[in-house]
Amino acid sequence: MSSVYYPKPRGIERWTGKPKLPNTVCQKTIYDQQQRLRYLCQAPTLDGKQYCDTCFKETLTGGDRKPPEAVTVEQLHWTNDKRKRA
């Protein structure tokens, strides 16, 4: 069986992709164990983030721990060096 070439009609515009818009609602999937349903959080987000603040903290900690605090590193200097010296 021979294949037949069907050309495109003239004057058709080329396909152009649409730019992705920033997120305005939370995309976190929440599961309801009693009714066995799943749905999106749909809380408003800031700056196009994927999750709202509460869902983001829950993903960091798993919901059972406090969120991690910022670690402060003590600057090394010869006056506060705590190593034993000979």
- Is a pLDDT exceeding 80 seen at residue 85? no
**Beta-carbon-side half-sphere exposure of residue 65 (alpha carbons within 13 Å):** 7
Q: What is the pLDDT of residue 34?
A: 81
Q: Are 54 and 43 within 8 A, CB to CB?
A: yes
Binning pLDDT at 50, 70 and 90, where does residue 84 land?
low
Closest alpha carbon to 41 in 32, 30, 56, 54: 30
Q: Tokens 């294949």 correspond to what residue?
A: 3
CA 41-43-46 angle, to 5 degrees, is 130
pTM, full prediction: 0.47
Mean pLDDT of 11-40: 83
In this prediction, residue 15 carries a pLDDT of 81
**Sequence-ordered alpha helix ranges (H) in 2-52:** none
